[in-house]
Amino acid sequence: MGLFDLFVPKVNAATPTSSISVEAAESLYPVNSINSLGGYYWQGNQTATRTEAMGVPALARARNIICTTIGSFEMHTRNIATGEKVQQPRVINQPDPRIAGSAFWSWLAEDLLFTGYGYARVMARYADTGRIQAMERIDPIRVTVRTNSMGTEIDAYAVDGSYIDPSDLVVFTGLDEGVLNRAGRTIRAASALEKTAYDFAIDPNPQTILKNSGVALPKDRVAALVAAFKNRTSKAVTFLNGDVSIETVGYDPKNLQLNEARGYLALELCRAAGLPAYFASAEPNSFTYSNAVSERRSLIDYSLRPLMTAIEQRLSLSDFTPLGQDVKFDLDDFLRGNPMERAQVYEILNRIGAMSIDEIREEEDLLL
């Protein structure tokens, strides 16, 4: 039992079990990629850590744009046949009653983006239906898997080293192996460049050699000379006689093309994360009011959609949502046009009888 288990509410054992059979399409399921699974869980050479990833400004920016944007969206449950919104349980928009739903979904979106998997542990179920009432996010680093002898099927899950009933673990499966697995080497290279830039900022002088071309100096004189020369960073004056010369080794940031390398890797990491580079300021671009909406649509289609689809389809399974209903993110506010465009659309819809004045006012959040 892990430390966090002590603070997790347990389902009352005295609660009568539901007579309704609720089945999730995933509990134990095939491994999509043996290489990516092994690379992440056994820390192969192809992977990077979250600390390395978030230490690179371009990737941290990409993560925050993608994940916090998803976390800010509300979700609605609809009747598949009619498209009508229906009442939904709180677990959809606030899975963990202890924290805001935006925080839960932002971190779970990060899990999908970085590792290709997201996990949540069931905290409570409804007594009448058996569906999930509350759940808490589990960091993927706390979850390990046991596969069959071929490594193609997951046989069991363990959280903090203790095996867990698969029905108590909600698995969100991403559509690829995750950025930490897929672009691990690129992330590590970018992290190394950030460290190099930091080292040059702390000590901008290259490595220096004091070369004595005269008589050999005793060790105490050599040590005193080296110590005196080190004081140059504090504006101290150091005297060298004619027998001692200064040579530098290594490269300075300009010769290393440090800025160019960092810019190139920032662009590559935006590609790996699926984010247009101008969103992370990795390449020059100018936004205008007229193209802002189209850029948001591009962000949805090419960056957010894979993660949103993984979340939507998992929440639409029967342990969350009744048959005949599904869960979708509400993108209306995010993709709405400027006031003039919306007014023109509303005018047409009202004229053909598709929307009433009251419906238009409701859509615009105007008081009736």
Which of 7-16, 21-30, 144-153, 214-223 is predicted with the least confidence, judged by mean pLDDT?
A: 7-16
Average pLDDT, integer, range 337-355: 77
Residue partners of 311: CB distance under 8 A and separation at least 6: 70, 105, 108, 109, 112, 172, 329
- Category of 115 on φ-ψ map: left (φ > 0), alpha (ψ -120 to 50) or beta: alpha
More confident residue, 25 or 335: 335
- H or E, element range at 27: none
Confidence of residue 12 (pLDDT cuts 50, 70, 90): very low
The answer, yes or no, to whether residue 36 has pLDDT greater than 90, is no
Confidence of residue 18 (pLDDT cuts 50, 70, 90): very low
- Is 129 in contact with 90 (CB distance < 8 Å)? no
- H or E, element range at 136: strand 132-138
| CA 279 and chain centroid, separation | 15
Q: How many residues does the chain have?
A: 368
The pLDDT assigned to 250 comes to 52
Instruction: Give tens-digit pLDDT for 60-109.
Output: 999 999 999 999 999 999 999 988 889 999 999 999 999 999 999 999 99
The pLDDT assigned to 348 comes to 85
Q: What are the C-alpha distances in Å from 41 to residues 85, 139, 143, 163, 208?
A: 40, 13, 9, 16, 43
The pLDDT assigned to 25 comes to 45
The pLDDT assigned to 154 comes to 86
More confident residue, 329 or 242: 329
More confident residue, 183 or 365: 183
DSSP state of 10: P
Instruction: Give tens-digit pLDDT for 155-199.
Output: 889 999 999 988 899 999 988 889 998 888 889 888 888 887 766
Cα Rg of the chain, angstroms: 28
pLDDT-above-70 percentage for the chain: 68
Instruction: Give tens-digit pLDDT for 194-227.
Output: 887 766 666 666 666 666 666 677 777 777 777 7
The pLDDT assigned to 54 comes to 92
Q: Please provide the average confidence, as pLDDT, over all residues in the chain.
A: 78
The answer, yes or no, to whether residue 338 has pLDDT greater than 90, is no
More confident residue, 366 or 314: 314
